[in-house]
A and B are shown apart, each in its own frame.
Chain A
Amino acid sequence: MGERRRLGVVALALACATAVSACVPLAPPPYATPSPVLATAAASSDDGFTHAERIALRVWAISCDAYRNGTAWMLDETHAVTNRHVVRDTTHIELTDYQGREYRVVSAEYSRDDDLALVTIDGTFPEAGTLASDEPALGDDLTVSGYALGGPLASVTGPYVDLRVNDLDPTGAEIYYLRLLAREGNSGSPVTDAAGDVVGVVFSSDGERYAGAVTLPRLEAFLADDAKRTEVDASC
């Protein structure tokens, strides 16, 4: 009899334990409510201009028979890159930055192969462009910052649509073909990717929808090889 009673008690205890354990899931687990991410000001320049715009310079050059407008961009604190056709055969070159500061050009030299030129300024420039580590991919949005028609400074963005033969120099290197409006005065403008790094240099346009740019590998080759540059002859 006593054994049976004990068994009964054990069975009852088990039943109770089962009932209690069945109730355990009823207790809600602790829930930490998520906190919203606080909005912060996007990283940008203090004055509203992009990095590409701040390194873009307005070029005004005088040749023996004409005045020219173009754009250049600072490669480092003393050198700026522009197009060969902007500085070739010029006797005088003036550079002006987005705030109107003027820089005197000490010397200029250009590429024999590509429409690229390197000018040296007197003094130092506070900012410099950064060359991209990779070429843009087809379809990437690229931005051209420069002084179309002699200014004011403006940026236009459009997709990189093709790597094609340069119609102005069919035997030369291929060029980036961009779907955006570049105009006279945009020659020498930096072409930047989404990160703001330079991937090319504008040198041609159909004046409507498309622009051509010197590619990143050609730009790197030009900057790396001093021997292939020709000094601008500043005499008429």
Chain B
Amino acid sequence: MTEDDPRGPNGPQPEPVPAPEAAQDSAPAPVPAQDSAPVPEPTPAPAPARRRGLAIALGLSLVAVVALAVPLAMLATARSTWEGQNDELRAHVESLTDEVSAQNARIAELEQTEAQLATLKEEYSSAVNQGAQGTELVEELEDIADAYQKCVEAQQEHFDVLRNSELYVRSSIDDSEQSIVAFCDEVTAAYQDFREKHG
């Protein structure tokens, strides 16, 4: 294909049509109504309707954008708030965990202290009791010693009686001796009981 090719690049070109003559008289010639076919009314240009449609579409689009943008903005705000709250809660949980750990440690210490206190309490009560018992043991022993002393004195008196037996009735001497023996046996038994009870 060359520039001289009259067909052009894609095949035969339409025949050149003579340009319409410029109307000399712009007013159309009157045509008898009867003889001519009805000429259709020129349709109104579609531009205003299209424009309105476009405006409505644009408006709807804007509304849709706004309708989407608002929830999106709300979601973004909510997410931000949630994240903030989540961070706060996590920090609080960590703080609580530390606090609970500290409390647990304190409880363990208190339990240990409580056990030590219970032991000390027992030891203290035992010592106090030993003190009280000691006083009582001394008093009991003093009573037994006094009784032994009475036993010895009674026997001493009885020896005197026996030395002067002719001055006393025999049965009376025997009764006195029996009484002294019984008393001294009681004292001995009390001492044995004491030894068994307190070692």
Contact = CB atoms under 8 A, between A and B. Distances in A.
B92 interface: yes
Name the interface size band of chain A.
35 or more
Interface stretch (A129-137, A148-156, A174-182, A190-198): A148-156
A16 interface: yes
Interface string A40-65: 01000001110000000010101000
Interface string B125-159: 11011011100100110000000000000000000
A23 B110 CA distance: 53
Contacts of B85: 28, 31
A151 B71 contact: no
A49 B121 contact: yes
B107 interface: yes
B58 interface: no
Contacts of B74: 20, 23-24, 26-27
A96 B78 contact: no
A38 B107 CA distance: 12
A22 B96 CA distance: 36
Instruction: List 8 tightest A-B contacts by C-beta distance, closest first.
Output: A151-B129, A152-B125, A23-B74, A152-B129, A100-B128, A26-B78, A48-B117, A153-B125
Interface string B70-85: 1100110110011001
Interface in B66-123: 66-67, 70-71, 74-75, 77-78, 81-82, 85, 88-89, 92, 96, 99-100, 103, 106-107, 110, 117-118, 120-122
A39 interface: yes
A20 B136 contact: no
A28 B110 CA distance: 42
A19 interface: yes
Interface string A167-204: 00000000000000000000000000000000000000
B54 interface: no
Contacts of A94: 136
B136 A67 contact: yes
A99 interface: yes
Interface of B: 59, 63, 66-67, 70-71, 74-75, 77-78, 81-82, 85, 88-89, 92, 96, 99-100, 103, 106-107, 110, 117-118, 120-122, 125-126, 128-129, 131-133, 136, 139-140
Contacts of B128: 96, 98-100, 151-153
Contacts of B81: 27-28
Contacts of A96: 128, 132
Nearest to A100: B128
A126 interface: no
Contacts of A235: none
Interface string A1-29: 00000000000100110011011101110
Contacts of A62: 139
A39 B103 contact: yes
